[in-house]
Amino acid sequence: MNIKQISIFLENKPGALYAMTGVLARNEVDLRALSVAETSDFGIARLIVDDTDRASAVLREAGYVHNITPVLGVAIPDVPGGLNKVLQVLTDAQVNVEYMYAFLGGKDVEHAYMIFRVADNGKAAAALAERDIKTVDQEEMDNL
């Protein structure tokens, strides 16, 4: 039920993000979700892609420091209060959300998909399942 996320170390300077997306573009890696966190001198780009292993290989080749971490993909009913309900469940289960970001548009118009980085994926997924909130696995995500 986990999705693989690639996190990449970038310097916070003009062209750094562009150089990295250029590596992915030249190797025809498709981005499914992206978020960037930054400080004044460095940033971390977090990506969900169609082919994690290939993306990792081409990034390594290009000299990028990066790692792969499991994250949760959550299908949130696209109605007012949808995200709030998910956070309520996680709060009740005392799961801390380290960060989260939205998935780039899929074919499913009923749901908004979001990526959650939490301390305990298993605990979060179980709590969500109990309240009928769907998490997506890598394969489902690839088909979105």
Partner 1 sequence: MERYYQPEIERASQEQIRAWQDERLVNQVKNVWDHVPYYRKKMEEKGLTPADIKGVDDLHKLPFVTKADLREAYPYGLMARPVKDCVRIQSTSGTTGKRVVAFYTQHDIDLWEDCCARAIVAAGGTDEDVCQVSYGYGLFTGGPGLNGGSHKVGCLTIPTSSGNTERQIMFIQDLNATILCCTPSYAAYIGETMKEMGLTPDQIPLKAGIFGAEAWSEEMRRDIQNTLGIKAYDIYGLTELSGPGVAFECSAQSGMHINEDHFIAEIIDPDTGEVLPEGSQGELVFTAITKEAFPLLRYRTRDICVLSREKCPCGRTHVRMAKPRGRTDDMLIIRGVNVFPSQIETVLLNAGYPANYQMIVDRVRNTDTLDVQVEMTPEMFTDNMGEISRRQKELVDGLRAMLGLAAKVTLVAPKSIVRSEGKAVRVIDRRKI
> Interface with partner 1 by CB under 8 A: which residues?
5, 7, 9-11, 16, 37, 39, 41-42, 44, 46, 63-67, 69, 98-99, 117
Q: Which amino acid is located at 95 in the chain?
A: V
Q: C-beta of 65: minimal distance to partner 1 in Å?
A: 5
For residue 103, the 8-state DSSP code is B
Q: C-beta of 82: minimal distance to partner 1 in Å?
A: 25
For residue 12, the 8-state DSSP code is S
Cβ contacts of 59 within 8 Å, gap of 6 or more: 6, 8, 20, 23, 24, 66
Closer to partner 1 by CB, 111 or 116: give it.
Answer: 116
Closer to partner 1 by CB, 65 or 79: give it.
Answer: 65
CA 139 to chain CA mean position, Å: 14
Closer to partner 1 by CB, 15 or 80: give it.
Answer: 15
